[in-house]
Structure 1
């Protein structure tokens, strides 16, 4: 068995409907995954499953999600060792200490290429910083993501494909769950 992290792109099922984490855990347990846990209501799962091609596990989760909740949601998977490398690769450690909710990583299904930084540059404000580390896109949003043109521009075609943002607080929280 290997420990995995599953990141949902969205926890909104439709107007006025949010995904309950207990329902998401039950879905994963129904697939035979063990030690299924979630981190608050952020669309993250940590679970144990037989070692397999991550894309196959993503497809199983996405198929089960669509069947149970009535809509497709992209789900990005990482095993525990890749999550550890993701955490260690944080290019903005000082900003993460000062304001961990202002540093985020767009965890990518497939590694984004260097061209993604060039494609997003016109949307970046002077004080926002971006870095590509192992194909995942890190951003320091010193004024938050809410009003950021850069955050709003991060659509899959411009940002290198399917991916989902998690702030440093969430990244660390998942790291703690992986160790337990």
Structure 2
């Protein structure tokens, strides 16, 4: 068994796609996953998996949630080791001291079309910064994400058929800590 992390996009936000934590856990158990932990109400699931490829796990969870809620909920999955690599690759280590200012936008795949990101003039949005690294976009907004024009620009971009969901650094590191608690084998 390995730990996997499922990131659900758009549930329990502003009354949309209500999916209580207890029900999230029940659906995951119904799909055969064990050691399920639901972190926060907005769709952060840590669970034991027998080694299924994350893309297959994501499709399986999406299908299970669609059957439960009767609405599509995009799901992005990372293994524990992939999440640890994301934490280790943080290009803005200073930001970790103020974790509310650092976000990771998790992508369901490597975007085939990065022209929207490439066209962003970073100086125009200073002091905010971003960096695409594989399937993650690191977004650092020292003055907060709520007023960040860069954050609004990035979340509004279309990256082809890639699904995106963001988590702040506190959540990212907490998910890694929870994944580290999943018993092996």
Query: In the TM superposition, what whole-angstrom CA distance separates every residue of 1:54-104 from its partner, at most 9, and x where no partner exists?
Result: 21111110011111012111100001111110110111111111x101100
Give, in whole Å, the separation in 2 of the partners of 1:7 and 1:120. 26
**Which residue of 2 is the match for residue 74 of structure 1?**
74
Unpaired runs of at least 5, structure 2: none
Higher relative contact order (CA 8 A, sep 6+): 2
**Which residue of 2 is the match for residue 4 of structure 1?**
4
TM-score by length of 1: 0.89
Cα distance change of structure 1 residues 27 and 13 upon mapping to structure 2, 3 Å threshold: farther
Give, in whole Å, the separation in 2 of the partners of 1:74 and 1:32. 19
Give, in whole Å, the separation in 2 of the partners of 1:15 and 1:177. 27
Unpaired runs of at least 5, structure 1: none
Cα distance change of structure 1 residues 120 and 74 upon mapping to structure 2, 3 Å threshold: farther
Deviates more, 1:111-120 or 1:167-176: 111-120
The number of aligned residues is 179
Asked if the contact 2:10–2:17 (Cα under 8 Å) also holds between the matched residues in 1, the reply is no
TM-score by length of 2: 0.87
Give, in whole Å, the separation in 2 of the partners of 1:170 and 1:160. 25
**Which residue of 1 is the match for residue 90 of structure 2?**
90
Note the aligned Cα RMSD (angstroms).
2.3
